[in-house]
């Protein structure tokens, strides 16, 4: 889990945390992200999920605000046009 309140531009690999299934920090010096409970809930409900990427990209946020799904377009398809 990423540390709370630390800008990505300043974050180093050693700043990352390792937590148990119930959120106890077992490696790392920082406070875990405020998103920890949400991530733990997702991992518990969907054991097939092995990683979570939380982003605030402009395009993804726009689709979400409009209530629209993001179409699964990959670069290999665009190469054909």
- DSSP-based three-state secondary structure for 19: strand
User: How is residue 7 written in tokens?
Assistant: 């800008």
Beta strands in 1-81 (DSSP E): 18-19, 25-27
35 binds ligand HMS, rule: CB under 6 A: yes
Cβ nearer to ligand HMS, comparing 19 with 35: 35
User: How is residue 77 written in tokens?
Assistant: 């398809």
Nearest to 1 by CA among 51, 44, 42, 41: 51
Cβ nearer to ligand HMS, comparing 34 with 66: 34
Per-residue contact string for residues 38-77; x = within reach of ligand HMS by CB under 6 A: ----------------x-----------------------
Report, in Å, the least distance between residue 45 CB and ligand HMS. Answer: 19
2 with 16: CB under 8 angstroms?
A: yes
Which residues would be at the binding site for ligand HMS (CB under 6 A)? 2, 4-5, 33-35, 54
């Amino acid at each position: 889990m990423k540390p709370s309140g630390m800008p990505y531009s300043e974050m180093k690999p050693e700043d990352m945390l390792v937590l148990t299934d119930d959120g106890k920090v077992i490696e790392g010096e920082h406070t875990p992200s405020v998103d920890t409970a949400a991530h733990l809930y997702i991992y518990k409900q969907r054991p097939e999920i092995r990683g979570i990427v939380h982003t605030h990209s402009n395009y993804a946020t726009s689709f979400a605000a409009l209530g629209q799904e993001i179409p699964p377009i990959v670069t290999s398809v665009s190469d054909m046009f």
